[in-house]
Structures are given as C-alpha cells and as structure tokens.
C-alpha cells in the first residue's frame, strides 16, 4: 500500500517471490548466499572463452572478487595457457 499510494510505484508480480536464503539469490551474474557468493556458471564460462591479452586483468579481478581459492587457481592456469597460445 505504501509503495502504491505514497510513492506511486508498482511491484512486478514476477519479481515478488519469497525464497529461502540458503537457496541463493541470482543478481547481476552472481549467486549470493548467506555464507558468501560465487560467479554463476554462464559468467564463469564467458570469462574463460572471452579471455585474451587485453582483458586478463579485468577477468582476473572479477574471478578474484566472486570466487574461492580453488576457482581462482584454476583461472590462473587458464590464463597461463592462453598466454602460451598467444605467444
């Protein structure tokens, strides 16, 4: 009522869903959980396929921000493989 009458806003019924926090919430390509967050599979694979010499630092920052140690190490190996292909 407050949103509709005072602020003159409407909530999209598609987005008005209540879920358990442990199921996670997808927001801007990141799955957010009470214990942390991770990059979703689509963006993880996108980072791997689009990786080149000019955007290594951007994707490294993205992976480091939203991933655990194991995934960061895996990405570093992928970077080394890509650098070897380029040279």
23 inside domain: no
The number of distinct structural domains making up the chain is 1
Alpha helix stretches (DSSP H) within 10-53: 41-50
pLDDT tens-digit series, residues 28-47? 989 898 988 889 899 999 98
Average pLDDT, the chain: 87
Residue holding tokens 């490294």? 60
Tell me the whole-structure pTM to 2 decimals: 0.66
11 inside domain: no
H-run or E-run covering 83 = helix 69-86
Label residue 27 exposed, middle or buried (CB < 10 Å: 0-12, 13-18, 19+): exposed
pLDDT at position 55? 87
21 inside domain: no
Q: Which two tokens stand for residue 23?
A: 């199921």
Q: 57: domain range?
A: 38-87
60 inside domain: yes
pLDDT tens-digit series, residues 44-68? 999 888 888 888 888 899 899 888 8
Q: Is the pLDDT of residue 87 over 80?
A: no
């Amino acid at each position: 009522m407050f949103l509709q009458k005072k602020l003159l806003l409407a909530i999209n019924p598609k987005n008005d869903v209540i879920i358990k926090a442990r199921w996670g919430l997808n927001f801007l390509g990141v799955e957010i959980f009470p214990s942390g967050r991770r990059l979703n599979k689509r963006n993880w694979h996108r980072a791997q396929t689009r990786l080149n010499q000019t955007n290594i630092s951007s994707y490294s920052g993205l992976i480091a921000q939203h991933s655990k140690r194991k995934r960061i190490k895996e990405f570093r190996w992928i970077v080394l493989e890509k650098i070897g292909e380029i040279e």
